[in-house]
């Protein structure tokens, strides 16, 4: 019985070692973002949730044209009307972008294909921000069309009383609202639970905060620094003072950054089933 010893210098062995040592390139972040964007649209619920942005924008514009007085049919009012339903829809999009991995049980597949969970979450974050900004530009276009149609109906000149600064603040406020939903998705990782938590925060908590501020002077003094919803809503007024920026930063740290950090820590260490 003889033993054959392969010489590493031979072409076949060298080629085999080269192939074994060559690592496949990682999945680029741009592809992950594209996948997350497609996952937002390729389900029936996701499609109609996205379509509801355009549908509600058109309905809000039509309501202003039909019911608002002639002197109120300005671009500012059209933009505000279109933005109201988006304050509800956009957080739902950010929330479901995360919880779908657990609700639809696709997390095991996703995190097997891309073991670095931080990159997946970053792709979801980027996709959510992109959708939020795009939705606000849709609102900008629909508001402009509503202003033109309203001027034709009333016979008055269109009033373009919405500056680029105001639009930038509205976009920032809307994106922050979407990211709050994203944070709840990361923290809770269950669609039903996160949706309930969001509506408790947005519908139940504000009246309680108002009641406490009206009956406790000490709370009324500190409320601007801990009421994140109120601090974010200031962005929709068109102008923000330096103190209001500071209040937004402090309250945002309490209600957004710290819970997001906890959620990211849990997601990156929790077992995916």
Q: Does 101 map to a domain?
A: yes
Q: Does 2 map to a domain?
A: no
Q: Does 251 map to a domain?
A: yes
Reported pTM: 0.82
Q: Is residue 142 within 8 Å of residue 57, measured between CB atoms? A: yes
Q: What is the pLDDT of residues 256-265, one digit of tens each?
A: 999 999 999 9
Model pLDDT, residue 40: 80
Q: Does 180 map to a domain?
A: yes
Q: Does 11 map to a domain?
A: no
Q: What is the pLDDT of residues 153-205, one digit of tens each?
A: 877 777 787 788 888 888 888 889 999 999 999 999 888 899 999 999 988 89
What tokens were used for 212?
A: 């406490």
Q: What is the pLDDT of residues 191-220, one digit of tens each?
A: 889 999 999 998 889 889 889 888 888 888
Model pLDDT, residue 42: 75
Query: What is the domain extent for residue 136?
Result: 28-269
Phi, psi of 249 (to 5 degrees): -65, -45
Question: Where would I find the beta strands (DSSP E) of 44-138?
Answer: none
Q: Does 87 map to a domain?
A: yes
What SS3 state is found at 104?
coil
What SS3 state is found at 16?
helix
Q: Is residue 64 within 8 Å of residue 79, measured between CB atoms? A: no
Say how far apart CA 102 and CA 113 lie, in whole Å.
16
Task: Calculate mean pLDDT across residues 96-120.
Answer: 78
Q: Does 91 map to a domain?
A: yes
Of the CA atoms within 13 Å of residue 21, those in its CB half-sphere come to 6
Q: Does 13 map to a domain?
A: no
Residues 6+ apart with CB under 8 A from 99: 185, 188, 189, 190, 191, 194
**Number of domains observed in the structure of the chain:** 1
Model pLDDT, residue 219: 87
Q: Is residue 150 within 8 Å of residue 60, measured between CB atoms? A: no
């Amino acid at each position: 019985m003889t033993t054959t010893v392969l010489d590493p210098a031979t072409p076949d062995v060298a080629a085999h070692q080269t192939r074994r040592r060559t690592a496949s390139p990682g999945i680029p972040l741009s592809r992950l973002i594209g996948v997350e964007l497609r996952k937002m649209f390729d389900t029936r619920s996701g499609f109609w949730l996205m379509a509801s942005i355009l549908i509600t924008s058109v309905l809000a514009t039509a309501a202003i044209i039909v019911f608002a007085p002639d002197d109120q049919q300005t671009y500012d009012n059209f933009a505000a009307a279109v933005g109201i339903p988006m304050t509800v829809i956009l957080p739902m999009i950010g929330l479901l972008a995360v919880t779908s991995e657990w609700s639809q049980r696709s997390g095991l597949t996703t995190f097997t294909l891309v073991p670095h969970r931080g990159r997946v979450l970053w792709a979801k974050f980027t996709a959510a921000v992109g959708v939020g900004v795009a939705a606000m530009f849709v609102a900008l276009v629909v508001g402009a069309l509503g202003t033109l149609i309203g001027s034709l109906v009333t016979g008055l000149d269109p009033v373009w009383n919405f500056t680029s600064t105001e639009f930038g603040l509205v976009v920032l406020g809307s994106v922050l609202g979407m990211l709050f939903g994203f944070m709840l998705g990361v923290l809770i990782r269950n669609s039903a639970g996160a949706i309930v938590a969001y509506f408790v925060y947005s519908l139940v908590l504000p009246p309680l905060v108002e009641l406490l501020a009206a009956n406790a002077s000490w709370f009324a003094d500190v409320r601007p620094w801990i009421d994140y919803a109120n601090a974010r809503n200031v962005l929709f007024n068109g102008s923000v003072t330096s103190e209001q920026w500071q209040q937004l930063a402090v309250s945002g740290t309490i209600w957004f950054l710290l819970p997001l950090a906890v959620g990211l820590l849990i997601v990156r260490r929790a077992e995916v089933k």
